[in-house]
Chain A
Amino acid sequence: MTDTFDLIIIGAGPAGMAAAELAAKHGASILILDEQARPGGQIYRAVEIMANRNRVELGDSYHAGLTLVNAFRDSHVQYIPKASVWQVSQGGEVGYSFDGTAHIVIGKQVIIATGAQERPFPIPGWTLSGVMTMGAAQILLKESELAIEDAVFAGCGPLFYLVIHQYLTAGIPIKAVIDLTPKGNYLKALPHLFSALPALPKIYEGWKWKREIIKSNVPYFSDVSDLKILGEEGVTGISYKQGSTWKTLDASHILLHQGVVPNVNISLAAGCKSSWNEDQACWRINVDDWFQSSVKGVRVTGDGASIGGALAAEQRGRIAAVGALVQLEKITATEGDHLAAPYKAALAAEMRVRPFLDALFKPSDTFRIPQHDNTIVCRCEEVTVGQVRQVVGMGCAGPNQLKSFSRCGMGPCQGRFCGLTVSELISETLKKPVSAVGYYRLRPPVKPLLLQELANLKITKGDSL
C-alpha cells in the first residue's frame, strides 16, 4: 500500500466515483474512501445488488447509476469501503478508521465528495420512536427491501414525491400524505420556469408523481401551516393545522422529509470557508470553477459543496478531477480546459432547472425555524427551542458560545442534526442575518472515533510532501 497518493477522494457517490474514474485514466494514484459497503452513494445505494432483482419501483434513474458504478469498479483506484473519515487537515492529511484501526494518509490533492444529507425537521415530537426520515426509509428499501407500512408522509421536495411514488408503485399501503410545499412557492418558481424548460420532461415526471398521489385513494392534505407529532414514548398520531383548525390522524409511523442540504462537516472541519445561501437556506462551501476550496489542495465537489443533484454531481466530480490533474501536473492547464469543456457544458445544462426547483421546494420558515418552546433542537443533548432562546437572551451571540452555554451541538452527531436549525433560530431571535450569526466551529473527529482506534493509529506518511 502506498502511503502518499496523488489524489484522495472522500465519498464514492456520483461525484467521487466520476472523479476517481477520470483521474485514474490520467495516471494519478488514487485512494477513495467511503462509508458504505458498496459504491453508489445515497442515490445509487446498493444499485449493484438491485440490478439482479426486479425492483422496478426504484425507477430508471436509479438503475442507470449502475453504468457509473461499473465504470468505477473497472478503474485502477484503491477503494476502501466501510471506511469512516474523521478528519481532513490542511496539508492533505486524511484521517480515517477501518476495521478497528485509525490511519492517517496524505493526498497531494484531496477531493471531498460527501454528498447531501436531509435537512433537520425540528417539529414537536420529531425525536419520538416511530418517526423516521424519508432518506432512512429509502435506505431500508434499497439495502433490505423493507418498507414502512401505513406511515404518514409529511414534507416537501423532489425526494418526497419520489419515495411516495415508489411506495405506490410497489403497492405499499400509505396512511396519509401531508404535502408541506408552501403555496406561495408555485408563484415564486414561475419566473424560473423558462430557463428550466430543457428539463421539462423531468418536471413533468414530478408533476405526474404528484397527480398520482392526489388521484390515489391515499388521504392527501395540503395548505398545512403547522404540525405536531403526538405520543409519549412512541408515536401515536400527528396533528396538522389547516387554516385555524387543528386536526389529528392516528398513526404509529411518520416519515418526514423537507429536502436535502450539503453535508459539510468534513469540509468545515478542514477549514474550508462557506457562505449562507438564502435560496437553498443552507451553508455552501466556497469553491472556484474547478471546485478548489479556500484550503490549498482541498476540493469540495458534488452535493457536498452545494445541492445540484446526482447528474450534476457526476459532472462536478469530473471537473474537480481535472482541476486536481492540472495541479498534479498530469496534464497541462490547456489540456485541462479542453478536457473539462464537455463536462462544464453538461453541468451548465443540468443546473438550469435548479433555480426553479429551489424556489418551488424551499421549505416553509415554520418547519425550518421551530416556534414551539418545547421542540427539541439538539437531539444528542436534548436542548429545546426555549433553552436556546433563553441563552441567546443572556447574551450568547452565536452557535459556538451556545455550545459552551448549553451543550447544544456537542453530542456525537457534531451538529449534523441541529446546526442549520441553530443558525436560523439565533438569526431570528437576534434579528441578525444568518451569515452574521455563523455556524459551529467544528472539531475533529467529525465522526466518532473509538479511543482504541485512535490508540492504534497508523501513520503511513510518505516523504514526498
Chain B
Amino acid sequence: MITNAITSASRTADAIIIGGGLHGCSTALQLAMRGMSVIIIEKDYVGRHASGVNAGGVRRLGRDLAEVPLSVESAKMWHDIESLVGDDCGFVASRQIKVAETEEHMVQLQNRVQQVKALGFDHEKMIDQKELREKLPAISDHCVGGLIVEGDGSANPFRTSQAFRRQCESLGVQLKENTVVSRFEKKEGVWHIHTSMGKFESPNLVNCAGAWGGKMAEMLGESVPIDTRAPMLMITSRIPPFIDSVVGVQGRPLSFKQFVNGTVLIGGGHVGKANPDTNETLLKYEGLAINANIAMTLFPQIRHAKIVRSWAGIEGYLPDNIPVISKSNIDGAFHSFGYSAHGFQMSPIAGKILSELIIDGKSELSIDAFSINRFSNDSLKP
C-alpha cells in the first residue's frame, strides 16, 4: 500500500484529503511522515477559512471532558511545534485564565476542577483574587478569582496554516487548490474523487472539510446535523502591552488576548451570518457590541482602544459541540470535522489520530465519543 512515489502530475495517492485547512494539512503531514503519498484537495486556498482566521487560542482550559485527553496530548505537540513543522507558528505559551466574576462562578469552577481530576488530569487549577490580580493587573476589581492553565497560550493561525502547508509540501504532499469536489464513487476498493479539475483516485478518502464536512459526509451517505455559523472577531490598533495571558470568563462568551505587536483580539463565539456556498460572511453588530461590553467590564482601561477590523470565519458546529473524529461506515473513508470553533489547538493530535486510523486501523487514544454514528439517536438532532 505504501508507495511514497508520486510525480507532480499524479492523480493517485495512498490517501486523498478533502480540505486544505489545518486539520487537512496536519493529517497529510502525519501520513507523509509515515511514508504515504498524499493529495490534498482544497476548494479555495490553504487557511482561507476557519483555520487561517480564527482567534488562535491554544488551550486545554475548559475543554469538553471527552476532548481533555486529546487536548492534553496535543498541548505536548504544540510545545514542540517547531520540530513538527519547522516554524514556531507564533506560539506563545503563557497561560489561559477563565475569570470568575462572582462567588457562584468560583463554585462552578471548583466543580469543574473535580471533574477534570476524576479523569486523571490536574492541569486546571483554581486561583484566588490575589493571584488573579498578580497574573492580570488590569482586571476589573469585581472579579474574584478564576481557573488557570499554565502553559496554554496562543499562536498565529495564518502562520500556523502556512507552516503546516510548507512542511507537507517538503514531504511531497500534493496540494490542489481551487479544486472543488463534485462527487465520490467507490470502485473495487478505490475511491474515485470527481472534482472541477478532473478525477483523482485513492484507496483512502479523508474528510477534513471543516464547515463543509457535513456536505462531504452527506455525499458518502452519512448525514450529520451540522450547523454552519460565522463566529466573529475584532482587533484593535496597537496599544502598550498590558496583558500576557489569554482570558475568558465563566458564564459569558469572551476570548481576549494581546499579541506581541500590541494589538488586542476580542472574540468569544458571538456569531454573524455564514453563507458556505458563496464564502460570504455577514457581521451582526448586536453581537459585537455585547462582546465589546463584556471585554470592557473585565478590562475597563481598553474602552478607548480603537477597533480597526472585525471579521468572521465560516465554521461547522455539531449539536454537542464536539467534532467528528471517526472511521466512516464505509471502508477506506475517514472523518475529522465539525470542531465547533475550538479545533485549532486539537489539530496536531487529530492529524496523528487520523494517520493511525488509516495506517494502523485504530488509534492510541480513544475516540469513541467522536463517532459519526452518535447522531443516529434522534434526540441529538436539532
Contacts and interface: CB of A to CB of B under 8 A. Distances in A.
Interface of A: 87, 89-90, 93, 95, 102, 104, 271, 397, 401, 404-405, 407, 410-412, 414, 443-445, 448-452, 454-457, 459
A265 B381 CA distance: 42
Interface string B276-296: 000010110110110011011
B306 A90 contact: no
B309 A455 contact: no
A407 B310 CA distance: 15
A150 B92 CA distance: 51
B303 A445 contact: no
B52 A454 contact: no
A101 to B, nearest CB: 11
A90 B288 CA distance: 17
Contacts of B223: none
Nearest to B263: A410
Given A448-B237, A452-B296, A454-B292, A459 B304 contact: no
A323 B236 CA distance: 38
A459 B288 CA distance: 12
B285 A443 contact: no
Nearest to A413: B308
A451 B236 CA distance: 8
Contact of A443 (B261, B280, B306, B309): B309
Contacts of A93: 285
B306 A450 contact: yes
B164 interface: no
B190 interface: no
Contacts of A448: 237, 306-308
B296 A445 contact: no
Given A404-B52, A411-B308, A412-B308, A455 B292 contact: yes
Contacts of B293: 455
A451 B309 contact: no
Nearest to B302: A451
Given A404-B158, A452-B296, A452-B303, A95 B309 contact: no
A451 B292 CA distance: 6
A456 B162 CA distance: 38
A372 B302 CA distance: 39
B234 to A, nearest CB: 8
Interface of B: 45, 47, 52, 158-159, 162, 236-237, 261, 266, 280, 282-283, 285-286, 288-289, 292-293, 295-296, 302-311
Contact of B285 (A401, A452, A454): A454
Nearest to A407: B261
Contact of A451 (B159, B280, B295): B295
B286 A445 contact: no
A457 B307 contact: no
B158 A451 contact: no
A450 B303 contact: yes
Contacts of B306: 412, 448-451
B237 A90 contact: no
Given A89-B282, A404-B158, A451-B296, A445 B307 contact: yes
B95 to A, nearest CB: 24
A68 to B, nearest CB: 34
B143 to A, nearest CB: 18
Contacts of A410: 308-309
A102 B304 CA distance: 14
Contacts of B292: 451-452, 454-455, 457
B262 to A, nearest CB: 11
Given A404-B52, A411-B237, A412-B237, A454 B286 contact: no
A104 B285 contact: yes
B284 to A, nearest CB: 9
A227 B102 CA distance: 63
A414 B308 contact: yes
A99 to B, nearest CB: 15
Of A87, A89, A445, most buried by chain B (CB within 10 Å of CB) is: A445
B305 A451 contact: yes
Contacts of A407: 261
A407 B304 CA distance: 23
Contacts of A87: 283, 285
Contact of B303 (A411, A444, A455, A459): A455
A454 B288 contact: yes
Contacts of B47: 404
Contacts of B159: 404
Nearest to A396: B162
A62 B266 CA distance: 46
A404 B235 CA distance: 14
A445 B308 contact: yes
The 9 closest A-B pairs by CB, nearest first: A457-B289, A448-B306, A452-B303, A404-B158, A455-B292, A443-B309, A454-B292, A455-B293, A449-B307
Nearest to A445: B307
Contacts of A452: 292, 296, 303-304
Nearest to A414: B308
A265 to B, nearest CB: 12
Given A89-B282, A404-B159, 18 more contacts: A87-B283, A87-B285, A95-B285, A271-B280, A397-B45, A411-B308, A412-B237, A412-B308, A443-B309, A448-B308, A450-B303, A451-B302, A451-B303, A452-B292, A454-B288, A455-B289, A457-B289, A459-B286
A41 B2 CA distance: 69
A24 B309 CA distance: 35
B283 A444 contact: yes
A451 B286 contact: no
A401 B303 CA distance: 30
A342 B318 CA distance: 59
Of B158, B286, B289, B310, most buried by chain A (CB within 10 Å of CB) is: B289
Contacts of A397: 45
A102 B285 CA distance: 10
Contact of B310 (A411, A412, A445, A456): A445
Nearest to B303: A452
A239 to B, nearest CB: 33
A442 to B, nearest CB: 9
B303 A102 contact: no
Given A411-B237, A455-B292, A89 B303 contact: no
7 contacts: A102-B289, A405-B162, A448-B308, A449-B307, A450-B306, A452-B292, A455-B289
Contacts of A450: 303-307
B132 to A, nearest CB: 22
A282 B308 CA distance: 24
A460 B288 CA distance: 16
A457 B285 contact: yes
Of A405, A445, A454, A456, most buried by chain B (CB within 10 Å of CB) is: A454
Contact of A90 (B282, B285, B305): B282
Nearest to B238: A411
Nearest to A103: B285
A95 B293 CA distance: 17
Contacts of A445: 307-310
A411 B236 CA distance: 9
A228 B324 CA distance: 59
Given A452-B303, A455-B293, A444 B308 contact: no
A56 to B, nearest CB: 41
B307 A454 contact: yes
Contacts of A414: 308-309
Contacts of A90: 282
A104 B288 CA distance: 13
B53 to A, nearest CB: 9
Contacts of A104: 285
Given A404-B158, A452-B303, A455-B296, A443 B310 contact: yes
A449 B306 CA distance: 5
